[in-house]
Amino acid sequence: MNTLTIKPVKTLSGCVSIPGDKSISHRAAILSSLAQGTTKIYNFLTAADCLSTVECLKKMGVSIEGPVNNTLVVHGQGPAGIKEPLDVLNAGNSGTSMRLLTGVLASFPFYSVITGDRSLRERPMERVLYPLQKMGAEIAGRKGSTRAPLAITGKKLSGIQYVSTVASAQVKTAVLLAGLQAYGKTTFTEPALSRDHTEKMLEHFGIPVTKSGLTVSVRGPCTLKAGGDFTVPGDISSAAFFIIAACIIPASDITICGVGVNPTRAGIIDVLTKMGANISIQNERIECGESVADIRVLYAPLQGTSIGGDIIPRLIDEIPILSVAAAAAQGETVITGAEELKYKETDRLKAVAEELRKMGVNIKELPDGLVIEGNTKFNGACCHSRGDHRMAMALSIAGLAAAGETTVNDADCVDISFPQFGDVLNSLVVE
């Protein structure tokens, strides 16, 4: 198993691009598989999670070429092109693959089984199964149908009006994808706005989506039009590691080009700006329905803050790296309303608290968040990713600002979302 060794750096400088957005890549592969005609997806994220989605779709009978040079070509044949997989589908480490594809599979008239790695098999699936079962789906799983592997017997589904207690884009998307084949209107209401890539992309694929506040609806059954040439923006969740690195390492000046800055994902920029960061959003434009911009970050000292409420879904994946920023800031930071972090690739509240403590951070775990004392002088330490890609990268960034060497064990998991992480980081380092 790969170990990352991180040495402290003087400063960061330069201009980089980062790979395609993970959430958007999954959705682009799935929607173009359901569509009638060919979609060419550029800047597709060639990382393990998205490749799991592609492999599952291939097993579901979809003709897909690539990815070659981050371009995926999908020859959709509409709903008729989705066939019974001959073998078990494997979503690997990817919650998005499993939850979104379960929404698709529930509505097709065949039997399928989907599983995942040890981490994914322990993550909650009832949040997706419950609304799908209300639509008429027949899905069973381990532990009282709450855990994968999931066995799905496809059924004719009916639209529902569903009010979710959790702000989860995966649940929202699973229900909307099932709703595309269901009879009548499917309406989904969430307690706070989660990422809205599905809604935006459905419109790009010719499906009318009705939106009102926290409610979104589609009407089925329907067939998507091919997406033509579709470009995936850079992933703000991957950019976040370098944005925060530049915020905590004196004299840094970096620009990250072509990053998706959809407001439902850009909570990290809002919080860092509130903390005193010097971040400018440049050349903002719309590409394939998504806001894209270049992000320039100049070092500036940060102040602690409080983070909670509706902003949480807008930065949910960035909390491990935000905790590093909070530890470096002056004063205390309190994060609340982030209980969802317990159900990610690992329990991220526990993992962040325990691993950052090894680096000298004074940090307390709350049932739904973290209290992080600032002014930390990080010490180099021997840390463990716990198999979680975002933990591995967050700890590496803390290591850049530490006194002495840091090692991050079990760091292969970086490949889940950002295989080029080390190369991009090295290209910004000024010795």
Per CB under 6 A, residues contacting ligand S3P are 23, 96, 168-170, 173, 194-195, 316-317, 340
Beta bridge partners of 64: 74
User: 340 or 373: whose CB is closer to ligand S3P?
Assistant: 340
Of 317, 347, 388, 415, the active-site residue reads: 317
Three-state DSSP state, 303: strand
**Token digits of residue 256:** 């990250």
Task: Identify whether the C-beta of residue 29 lies closer than 8 Å to the C-beta of residue 53.
Answer: yes
Three-state DSSP state, 420: coil
Cα(224)–Cα(30) distance, integer angstroms:
11
User: 197 or 296: whose CB is closer to ligand S3P?
Assistant: 197
Q: Which helix (H) or strand (E) holds 103?
A: helix 95-105
The burial class, CB within 10 Å (0-12 / 13-18 / 19+), for 46 is buried
Q: What are phi and psi of 286, to 5 degrees?
A: -105, 125
Task: Identify whether the C-beta of residue 359 lies closer than 8 Å to the C-beta of residue 351.
Answer: no
Beta bridge partners of 73: 40, 65
State in angstroms the smallest separation of the CB of 86 from ligand S3P. 27
Say whether 317 is catalytic: yes
User: 101 or 328: whose CB is closer to ligand S3P?
Assistant: 101
State in angstroms the smallest separation of the CB of 173 from ligand S3P. 6
User: 155 or 195: whose CB is closer to ligand S3P?
Assistant: 195
Quickly list DSSP for 257-296: EEEE--TTTTHHHHHHHHTT-EEEEEEEEEETTEEEEEEE
Q: Is the peptide bond before 320 cis (omega within 30 degrees of 0)?
A: no
Task: Identify whether the C-beta of residue 352 lies closer than 8 Å to the C-beta of residue 394.
Answer: yes
User: 44 or 378: whose CB is closer to ligand S3P?
Assistant: 44
User: 276 or 419: whose CB is closer to ligand S3P?
Assistant: 419
E strands, 49-182, in order: 63-68, 71-77, 89-90, 111-115, 138-141, 147-153, 161-163
Residues marked active site are found at 317
